[in-house]
Copies of this chain bind each other. A is one copy, B any other.
Amino acid sequence: MPEPAAGTPIADLDTPALLIDLDILQSNIDHMAAFFRGKAAHLRPHVKSHKLPEVARLQVAAGAPGVCAAKVGEAEAMVDGGITDVLIANQVVGGAKILRLIDLAERARISVAVDNADNVAALSRAARDRSATIGVFVEVDVGMNRCGVDDAETALALSRQVADAKGLEFLGLMGYEGHITNIKDAAQRAEACRNSMAKVTAAAEYVRGHGVPVNDVTGGGTMSYDISGVYPGVTEIQAGSYALMDVNFRNMGLPAGRKEGSPFRCAMSLLTTVMSVPRRGVAIVDAGMKSITHEFGLPEVKDRPGITLARLSEEHARLDTSGGQAEALHTAGGQACGTLRLGDKIELLPSHGCTTVNLHDRAYATRNGRVEDIWEITARGKSQ
């Protein structure tokens, strides 16, 4: 298939196709950058949500010193795409992965998280053998029950080990409060965020108090940047979802301090085609869970009042078109059903942007309803 030329109307794209509205994207990036202007903490955007070097470059242009990634493969894609400073906000375990990390550290400023003494020793050996330097954050579990040490004493021991280890540079502590997204009430969510930040900043004070300098305390996300980003002692926020945004976070009114109404808008949508109008009140579009995810609820139909998404199969979505005036055009066995006709294009808004992006090889960057650029999602599937 020839690639669509710049200027192609969205409606002429083959489907399913992932669309990113450049004006909304830039507005989201600018809004977040403005929040951090003049603050003690800075933003280091997480690329796991968009997996696109192009978006990472826009975020760096807006003031970020670098980005976060979840995996070595994501970091490789970002360095290949011109990003020069990547924190892999995760543990890197295993000989093959650590070798790739060292390779990357010869091309960019690279840091990782640790929560285990043997892992620190392995990272140090590999870095020393190649005269490389890896930045290291000691991760503290602040409530997720995932990675991270549980207490300040263990954080101190690991921090000392890192500070003393050749090939490693001890940068500080990391504490990610991802568990608070499950809390629906905004005030309770904000309080849980403060509790998490209290734990990691107290651990940082404890480490400092024992003579190990802590430069940075990193954590936070789109759901809490307005709380964690002004919490005393927190210096870096790892928000990622805000750039493309999704229906789940938008509906929760995230960040943490807001009762409702997110300041960010959904920049990403999935373009689909009506492929069947089989009966009154039903239309089927040509995208399902292999193109858009639903672990955080069903996607939303964009800008089509009275039409809702009722069910996702693997390659189909069933729309309920019985709302409003949708019945008017039904003709059994023919082309039209409700207000939708065979071949009509429908946009769906993802409920979870991070996993939806991970299904697609490319995204169409659009402005005013036309394609402006085609972006290869080079970090897609890079889970190694």
Contacts and interface: CB of A to CB of B under 8 A. Distances in A.
A277 B119 CA distance: 11
Contacts of A314: 48, 70, 354-355
A224 interface: no
Interface string A310-354: 000111101000000000000011110000001100000000001
A233 interface: no
Interface stretch (A24-32, A255-263, A268-276): A268-276
A287 interface: yes
Interface string A282-301: 10101101110111000000
Given A1-B96, A275-B147, A295-B289, A16 B355 contact: no
A381 interface: yes
A219 to B, nearest CB: 15
A318 B145 contact: yes
A161 B319 CA distance: 27
A48 B313 contact: no
A202 to B, nearest CB: 18
A18 to B, nearest CB: 10
A28 to B, nearest CB: 20
B15 A118 contact: no
* Copies of this polypeptide in the complex: 2
A302 interface: no
Nearest to A154: B333
Nearest to A337: B116
A96 B14 contact: yes
B383 A118 contact: no
Contacts of A359: 358-359, 381, 383
Contacts of A6: none
A117 B333 contact: yes
Contacts of A91: 275-276, 284
A71 interface: yes
Nearest to A354: B314
A168 B16 CA distance: 26
Nearest to A362: B381
A278 B150 contact: yes
Interface in A32-75: 48, 70-71
A147 B117 contact: no
Nearest to A103: B1
Nearest to A317: B146
Contacts of A157: 333
A46 to B, nearest CB: 11
A322 to B, nearest CB: 13
Contacts of A148: 276, 278
A117 B70 contact: no
B315 A90 contact: yes
Interface in A113-157: 115-119, 141, 145-150, 154, 157
10 contacts: A48-B315, A115-B276, A116-B334, A146-B278, A147-B276, A149-B333, A150-B279, A289-B293, A314-B355, A358-B359
**CB-based closest 5 A-B pairs:** A147-B276, A93-B275, A118-B335, A14-B96, A154-B333
Given A48-B314, A360-B381, 20 more contacts: A14-B94, A14-B384, A16-B383, A90-B315, A91-B284, A93-B274, A93-B343, A115-B276, A116-B334, A116-B335, A141-B278, A145-B282, A146-B318, A150-B332, A286-B383, A289-B293, A289-B355, A290-B355, A290-B383, A314-B354
